[in-house]
Amino acid sequence: EPEVTQTPSHQVTQMGQEVILRCVPISNHLYFYWYRQILGQKVEFLVSFYNNEISEKSEIFDDQFSVERPDGSNFTLKIRSTKLEDSAMYFCASRGEVEQFFGPGTRLTVL
């Protein structure tokens, strides 16, 4: 069964460093998403991506964040200068007709 994959599973970085989180969505899906979940809190929408551009972004998704689909398979989330409060699980999701399927997540720890 097709699934969303994400790498790395865990990323530790120093405050102020740049990180890139990678996702491979399900191959015939056209809509891609990033969500995050701070420990003990709800899953929060960050950004959606369709047709090679951002279709919607949340208030959380400020200038420090960017997304890209550099080739036909990968979908990346870049955080330019990480803050302590960026520590969270980051989930990529892709959507076919209705359902959104989530990847296993990347746990980002900012020290």
Partner 1 sequence: QKEVEQNSGPLSVPEGAIASLNCTYSDRGSQSFFWYRQYSGKSPELIMFIYSNGDKEDGRFTAQLNKASQYVSLLIRDSQPSDSATYLCAVRQQGGATNKLIFGTGTLLAVQP
Q: Judged by CB, which is closer to partner 1: 27, or 51?
A: 51
Q: Are strands 44-50 and 100-102 parallel, antiparallel or unpaired?
A: unpaired
Q: Judged by CB, which is closer to partner 1: 19, or 34?
A: 34
What's the closest the beta carbon of residue 43 comes to partner 1, in angstroms?
Answer: 4
Listed in sequence order, the residues at least 6 apart from 40 whose beta carbon sits closer than 8 Å to its beta carbon are: none
What's the closest the beta carbon of residue 81 comes to partner 1, in angstroms?
Answer: 25
Q: Judged by CB, which is closer to partner 1: 15, or 30?
A: 30
What's the closest the beta carbon of residue 77 comes to partner 1, in angstroms?
Answer: 15
Rg (CA), the chain: 13
Listed in sequence order, the residues at least 6 apart from 11 whose beta carbon sits closer than 8 Å to its beta carbon are: 19, 21, 106, 107, 108, 109
What's the closest the beta carbon of residue 28 comes to partner 1, in angstroms?
Answer: 16
The residues with which 13 forms a beta bridge, in sequence order, are 110
Interacting residue ranges for partner 1, rule: CB under 8 A: 31, 33, 35, 41-45, 48, 50, 55-56, 89, 91, 95, 98-105
